[in-house]
Chain A
Amino acid sequence: EIVLTQSPGTLSLSPGERATLSCRASQSITNRYLAWYQQKPGQAPRLLIHGASSRATGTPDRFSGSGSGADFTLTISRLEPEDFAVYYCQHYGSLITFGPGTKVDIK
């Protein structure tokens, strides 16, 4: 079973700044089966990125995913007010695991 670690736990930034979120796996992820989700209070998670770097339908292009092997990154190029939320990475395949999340809050 692959264990995902996300860092930092909380990221305090201002609107307009760049956000860099990390997701590290306990072993190499094959086929780049790594997704990123955004969750706002009181809402279900929303898929942002799948296949490590492919934007899901409706994901703004300020969101980008990168990485391979065991190290992956979600970058938000310029934070908009609606981007302050919790972000989870997910490994998928036969078994699925989620990381513990990174909260992006307003500085």
Chain B
Amino acid sequence: QLQLQESGPGLVKPSETLSLSCTVSGDSISTSNYYWGWIRQPPGKGLDWIGYIFYSGSTYYNPSLKSRVTISADTSKNQFSLKLASVTAADTALYYCAGSWGDGAFDIWGRGALVTVSS
């Protein structure tokens, strides 16, 4: 059974880089046709797509975040990661990693990791 688990610091200072990892268990992140994505949700608000990495390594980012976002994969650890640079309080959110086989409709989600941006 495919499972995802986010990990990383829960507190990041303004102007620094937010870094999160998502460990995948139950299948390889290199399996054909998988999309591995990051979605965030500010407290009390809706869902905001950050980006995804395709099984082949191609990446796609939300245009509004593209200049600050990097998503990468480490096949040796079966993980994919998110880096968001130059964070502000507006980046405070629950960050979810998610997976989709084939199309980008995410059918498997992690439990989420709360990241607060504060000095």
Contact = CB atoms under 8 A, between A and B. Distances in A.
A95 B103 contact: no
B110 A44 contact: yes
Given A97-B49, A100-B46, A47 B110 contact: no
Contacts of A56: 105, 107
B105 A90 contact: yes
Among A35, A93, A101, chain B packs the most CB atoms within 10 A around the CB of A35
B46 A96 contact: no
Interface residues of B, number: 22
B49 A50 contact: no
B114 to A, nearest CB: 12
Nearest to A1: B63
Indicate the size class of the contact surface on chain A: 20 to 34
Nearest to B104: A92
Contact of A92 (B103, B109, B111): B103
Nearest to B61: A95
B96 A96 contact: no
Given A45-B96, A50-B103, A56-B107, 13 more contacts: A1-B63, A35-B106, A39-B47, A44-B96, A45-B39, A45-B109, A57-B107, A98-B46, A98-B47, A98-B48, A100-B46, A101-B46, A101-B47
